[in-house]
Amino acid sequence: KRLILIGPPGSGKGTQSPLIKDEYCLCHLATGDMLRAAVAAKTPLGVKAKEAMDKGELVSDDLVVGIIDEAMKKPSCQKGFILDGFPRTVVQAQKLDEMLEKKGTKVDKVLNFAIDDAILEERITGRWIHPSSGRSYHTKFAPPKVPGVDDVTGEPLIQRKDDTAEVLKSRLEAFHRQTEPVIDYYSKKGMVANLHAEKPPKEVTAEVQKALS
């Protein structure tokens, strides 16, 4: 399947992605994860993206479209994919349509992680991630077996630099202003499945499975 995951920061996109990937054998492309890796490695791309990311603003459309275009060439992404955090502007959505049209394919479904803003601060400020895999934990909702340590690799967990209450405000503003129109864009095409993203993770997984069956 070819899927898009849209939702505000902390709505659970990264949490549900591995489960969808395992079940439907897709490739998981998370622009945020790819950008953070570029920032950590101080690549030219990372240097360009860092300032906007630290402020909770979107990086330029050209930059992320380039990343996705390149990543979709991977053999593992030919039969299906999950786009997590992309497209985030209407321009990005149009570019994606063009990209897929050239390959003679299209997106099957857009999963909308609908949730009230008020819930997100606690999710964001309690999150710990394993940077190299993108796995995320939460001190209260999804604690690792050993505090501060990744369950799978035993490596240390870190907090994202943009996971503060302060930066969250800008990220939410960017979401409402630039990304909500993307949901309308796909709604008009009848492609959107709305999820109750405020529910516990297992219940959200069940809704995802229902939407994809």
Stretch that binds Zn ion, among 9-17, 50-58, 92-100, 145-153 (CB under 5 A): 9-17
Rounded CA separation 187/81 (Å): 20
What ranges make up the beta strands (E) of 135-209?
135-138, 192-196
**Candidates 6-14, 48-56, 121-129, 155-163; binding stretch for Zn ion (CB under 5 A):** 6-14
By a kind-dependent CB cut-off of 5 to 8 A, residue 205 interacts, out of ligand AP5, Zn ion, none, with none
Interface with ligand AP5, residue 185, by CB under 6 A:
no
- Return the residue of 14, 81, 186, 197 that touches Zn ion, per CB under 5 A: 14
Of 2, 48, 160, 199, the catalytic one is 160
- Strand 135-138 with 127-130, pairing: antiparallel
Range 85-144, binding ligand AP5 (CB under 6 A)? 85-86, 88, 92, 123, 126-127, 136-138, 141-142
Q: What would the DSSP string read from start to end of 156-175?
A: BPB--TT-SHHHHHHHHHHI
Residue 204 lies near ligand AP5 (rule: CB under 6 A): yes
Angstrom distance (rounded) from CA 165 to CA 55: 12
Two structure tokens written together for 170: 């800008």
